[in-house]
Amino acid sequence: MHCLNCDEAIVFDDQLDNNEPFQCEHCDQWMVIELDEGSYEGAIKQNVIMLDENNLEDYS
């Protein structure tokens, strides 16, 4: 996966839980992966969302 902010590659050592915020190791941008299991685009759709200080609190 590539960071939405700096376009550097992000490698996950462990499987992330749904709605668990993580930081890009290159630019320190906070992001979260949300899983949508009811999407018409397939069984599971993964959405990557960039977070800022205001909405980071919503995921902790």
Residue 11: what pLDDT?
Answer: 83
Provide the greatest CA pair distance for the chain: 34
DSSP β-bridge partners for residue 36: 45
Residue 55: what pLDDT?
Answer: 85
Residue 40: what pLDDT?
Answer: 72
* Cα 60 to Cα 50: distance, rounded to the nearest angstrom: 15
Domain enclosing residue 22, as ranges: 1-60
Domains contained in the chain, number: 1
Residue 33: what pLDDT?
Answer: 87
- pTM, two decimal places: 0.73
Average pLDDT per block of 10 residues along the chain, 60 residues long = 91 72 92 80 79 83
